[in-house]
Amino acid sequence: MRTKNLFGMLALLGLAGWMFAACSDDSAGTNNTNKVCNHNGQCDAGENTANCPDDCPKVQCSLTDGDNYNYIMNKIQIPLNGTEAKTIGVDLDGDGTIDNKLGQIMALVPKADDGTTVNDALQTSIDNGTIILLGRLIMNQWPSDDVMAAQIFPGDTTSGDATADDLSGTGCALVSSTADQSLKLCGMVANNSLRVGPDSIQIALSLSGVNMTISLDQAQAEGTVHEDSWSDVQVGGGITKENLNNELIPALVSWLNDATKKDPTGSVGKFVLDSLDANCSTSAEGCEDVTNGSGDCKAWDPQNPVGDPLTDKEIKCSSLFAAALKPDVDIDGDGTKDLLSLGIKVSAVKVTIGSGTCQ
């Protein structure tokens, strides 16, 4: 059952794709190694704000230009395998196909002991208020606004101040005290069709009670939005190698260690001890000098537990994870893959976002 925590973590990770940082200024698309941008002053097929900012300039928007429309997510889907990953998320590099390596990572994680899927567990968490994700559109008019802003915030799940019926369409919820409410994604709504981004974002990640932030680059969102609902809004972005090494992998390792130490024979514990612990591959990048059974790849004994089952190195050098955690998107068109893509699909209903309290 603890697998649910990992599900929740990975889900929140996807979710956070939504807490958009103010501005990214990655102008790598203008450098002379770019193989996509033709600099003809028009945003052509295959060109986008990330790989061709000269031809496809970023839309600027304001959090105060328009009225606030507030939402709470009542459904969140993440891809559980590579096939689903082709239908959930966004096309980050403009090549016409959705980019979402999250599906490949999720396919590696064992199923919960009771057979429920990640998305089942996620839905339970949404329904019982363990996960609250809020959205906001700042719009001048409906159903179209050619310059608008979108935001997503983690909701407050600790004070218990949200109304019990917060998913009813007339409920109330609060923004988490850790949310950065200045973050936004700029774009447009045309006949209820939302298209915002790309921009840098931060992900709220909740891991065994520890909250942390992971940064996503070039995040975008698109889908159908109305004054009182969102349906099937796709959200996606990419993790840089640096953020992968400094944020995501340590978070994953810490969660896996926690689950394994609590229950070495549960589905996650078995997976860790059978497939990851002391199972380093010297063919993975940066792992040429590892030795199984010693140093960073030493074996952990549940009968005589000393320290942690896994190190960061055991994930990086795992033949399973090494491929799944490799960047898959060449965002700036220079021929080198820079970002590990993640995406989710969400639906939402109207909510009141209380200021300080829902009373």
Q: Shortest Cβ distance from residue 244 to Ca ion (Å)?
A: 15
Tell me how crowded residue 130 is: count the other CB atoms within 10 A of its CB.
14
The strand ranges marked E within 9-132 are: 19-20, 67-77
- List all residues 6 or more positions away from 118 whose beta carbon is below 8 Å from its beta carbon: 7, 10, 11, 78, 80, 106, 109
Q: Does 180 interact with Ca ion (rule: CB under 5 A)?
A: no
Residues binding Ca ion: number (CB under 5 A): 18
Nearer to Ca ion, 46 or 110 (CB): 46
Q: CA angle 153-151-54, nearest 5°?
A: 140
> Pattern of binders to Ca ion over 258-277, x per CB under 5 A?
-------------------x
Nearer to Ca ion, 312 or 334 (CB): 334
Site for Ca ion in 294-313 (CB under 5 A): 300
Q: Does 330 interact with Ca ion (rule: CB under 5 A)?
A: yes
**Pairing, β 229-240 against β 339-350:** antiparallel
Tell me if residue 177 falls in helix, strand or coil: coil
CA–CA separation, 45 and 188 (whole Å): 19
Q: Shortest Cβ distance from residue 97 to Ca ion (Å)?
A: 5
Nearer to Ca ion, 99 or 166 (CB): 99
Q: Shortest Cβ distance from residue 331 to Ca ion (Å)?
A: 6
Site for Ca ion in 38-77 (CB under 5 A): 38, 40, 42, 44, 47, 55
Nearer to Ca ion, 47 or 156 (CB): 47
Q: Does 168 interact with Ca ion (rule: CB under 5 A)?
A: no
CA–CA separation, 162 and 68 (whole Å): 19
C-alpha to C-alpha distances, 278 to 168, 171, 189, 258, 298, nearest whole angstrom? 49, 49, 51, 17, 5
- Residue of minimal CB distance from Ca ion? 55
Nearer to Ca ion, 101 or 184 (CB): 101
User: What is residue 211's DSSP assignment?
Assistant: E
Q: Does 222 interact with Ca ion (rule: CB under 5 A)?
A: no
Q: CA angle 74-116-216, nearest 5°?
A: 55
> Pattern of binders to Ca ion over 6-45, x per CB under 5 A?
--------------------------------x-x-x-x-
Nearer to Ca ion, 155 or 198 (CB): 198
Q: Shortest Cβ distance from residue 272 to Ca ion (Å)?
A: 9
Q: Does 332 interact with Ca ion (rule: CB under 5 A)?
A: yes
Q: CA angle 323-325-327, nearest 5°?
A: 95
Q: Does 217 interact with Ca ion (rule: CB under 5 A)?
A: no
Nearer to Ca ion, 135 or 343 (CB): 343
Among the listed residues 84, 93, 222, 258, the single contact to Ca ion using CB under 5 A = 93
User: What is residue 99's DSSP assignment?
Assistant: B
Q: Does 97 interact with Ca ion (rule: CB under 5 A)?
A: yes
Nearer to Ca ion, 95 or 161 (CB): 95
- C-beta of residue 348 within 8 angstroms of C-beta of residue 235: no
The strand ranges marked E within the chain are: 19-20, 67-77, 133-139, 145-154, 172-173, 185-190, 193-207, 210-226, 229-240, 339-350, 352-353
Binding site for Ca ion (CB under 5 A): 38, 40, 42, 44, 47, 55, 91, 93, 95, 97, 99, 277, 300, 330, 332, 334, 336, 338
